[in-house]
Amino acid sequence: MRADRTGAENISLIIEDLFCRIETIIISCVVKLYKYMLNRITIDPEVMSGQPCIRGLRIPVPIILRLLASGKTNLQILKDYPELEEEDIRQALIFASWATTEKTIPVTA
């Protein structure tokens, strides 16, 4: 702590540091939870250059997302890709929502 800071400023810095540590712990727990929940999404540098894929198959998650975005139904996708299962499509969507979640970082003046 710097001597020229007031007690309130020091407490504020301590609380800010504590919140950062808590946030790190929470993020770590969420990542572990998602790894458990998303057991069908694999990332392997040897498969599709490390893109997230469905169960190690050469079907990248972004392909599934593009098909859904183009208006294809789950049933149409499953017909076009018979090796896929309904749960694969569901986990692709969960992965996409997790991967695109923004983290807000406060900026101080």
| Selection from 101, 92, 79 nearest residue 43 by Cα | 92
Query: Does one domain contain both 31 and 54?
Result: no
With vertex at residue 95, the alpha carbon angle to CA 66 and CA 39, rounded to the nearest 5 degrees, is: 120
pLDDT of amino acid 103: 62
What is the rounded distance in angstroms from the CA atom of residue 12 to the CA atom of residue 104? 19
**Domain span at residue 11?**
1-37
pLDDT of amino acid 91: 94
Mean pLDDT, 10 residues at a time, over the chain (109 residues)? 69 85 74 74 88 92 97 98 97 87 65
| Selection from 91, 97, 101, 106 nearest residue 27 by Cα | 101
Q: Assess contact for 54 and 61: CB atoms under 8 A.
A: yes
Query: Does one domain contain both 69 and 82?
Result: yes
The pTM for the full model equals: 0.62
Please provide residue 60's backbone torsions phi and psi, each rounded to the nearest 5 degrees. Answer: -70, 145
pLDDT of amino acid 44: 87
